[in-house]
Structure 1
Amino acid sequence: MRIEVRQGLPPGQRRLAAELYWQAFGGKLDRVMGPEPRALAFLERVMRADHVLAAVDAEGRLLGLAGFKTPAGGFAGGTCADMRAVYGVWGGTWRVLMLRALQGDVDNERFLLDGICVARDLRSRGIGSALLEGICAEAVRRGYPAVRLDVIDTNWRARALYERQGFIAIRSHRIGLLRYVFGFNAAITMVRPVAG
């Protein structure tokens, strides 16, 4: 399969991008972002095409994506107003508070990967590796010396991919009582040097 990694989302595939993202992260975000139809509506609303790399096939079909975070924002962050528009005032407010408690800050020293996902039926075909290489190339293009990501302690498959791609675990951050909401105990920070 021919894989091309491009900046932005393919035309007309915003809904598919939201579905891929939810497929990858819905397991840990469902209690806060669910129900699924609202989560997909929120993701479609907030996804930033200027903060994502997309893996596509020869026909331009979306196979996977890798979001990133910069001081200008993240791929699927959105604002309080976006959250309230989809979930209402009360529903949006408590969701914002829960997500802020979980999310890390922007790393101004390293390029920050903010979520990578590949269509479930296309995994183990090199798409994730191609996206990671694309993120590393984007980091170099932007002048960063390294890429940083966080992976949850229960996602051993993703961590193995990151390790094969040269990422090294540098710390583990326990999330305390939030584990009862999000379903994992800790986030592991991993870094890969890309320049210098």
Structure 2
Amino acid sequence: MKITVGIPQKDREEAAALYWNAFGEKLGFTLGPKYQALMFVRSVLRPDHGICAHDDDGKLLGIAGFKTTHGSLVGGDFKDLRKIYGWTSAAIRISLLGLLERDVENERFLMDGLFVAPEARGSGVGTALLDAIIDEAKRRGYTQVRLDVVDTNPRAKALYRHVGFKELKTVKIGLLKHIFGFSASTTMVRDV
């Protein structure tokens, strides 16, 4: 397995598909239908805000995204949404996406999503990507890595605990669970 910072252009389509496979349930109401969501993700994907895992044949196995003051793996703004969904729909979608927004901090490097191809899950790809995120945080001078994990993803939470992340706080989202498909999000941190 090879880990690299940055997403090669040749993997843009596959990266968008893997992202949607991992987060489509959470973002389906906000960014769906799938064909439009994939168009949007492809258009706003920031290759410089991702760390990739590839197998020996160059197949994309997974990505760990991160967020900085300069952007995030999958960001975008109203203009980007409008191109895909139209003005009215974009206005509603940007409001909903704003509810999921997380601010960057000076002392904590923000991991902004980790997703692994279904056929590669359980083979160490997620752990390797987490190690790479921790290395990237060190390289950038951070003292901790921060991430958020939803209550509907206990497998991810177990992985994060396994590599040393500690729970900081859990926030319940109330009635928004009907829009986003989860009831609570837990912030976890790990020293680098």
Tell me how far 1:79 sits from its aligned partner: 1.4
Cα deviations across residues 15-52 of structure 1 (Å, max 9, x unaligned)? 10000000000011101110000000000000001100
Tell me how far 1:176 sits from its aligned partner: 2.2
**2:153 — aligned with what?**
155
C-alpha separation between the residues in 2 aligned to 1:104 and 1:9?
Answer: 22
Tell me how far 1:179 sits from its aligned partner: 1.1
Structure 1 counterpart SS, 2:87: helix
* Aligned residues between the structures: 192
- Residue range with higher mean Cα deviation, 158-167 or 98-107: 98-107
**2:84 — aligned with what?**
86
C-alpha separation between the residues in 1 aligned to 2:155 and 2:149?
Answer: 10
C-alpha separation between the residues in 2 aligned to 1:9 and 1:60?
Answer: 12
C-alpha separation between the residues in 1 aligned to 2:77 and 2:184?
Answer: 25
Identical-residue share of aligned pairs (%)? 49
Stretches of 4+ aligned residues off by more than 4 angstroms: none
Unaligned runs of 5+ in 1: none
8 Å CA contact retained: 2:63, 2:116: yes
TM-score by length of 2: 0.98
Of 4, 26, 48, 2:24 maps to: 26
Structure 1 counterpart SS, 2:112: strand
Of 120, 128, 139, 2:118 maps to: 120
8 Å CA contact retained: 1:56, 1:64: yes
TM-score by length of 1: 0.96
Tell me how far 1:177 sits from its aligned partner: 2.1
8 Å CA contact retained: 2:171, 2:186: yes
Tell me how far 1:90 sits from its aligned partner: 0.8
Tell me how far 1:181 sits from its aligned partner: 0.4
Tell me how far 1:91 sits from its aligned partner: 1.0
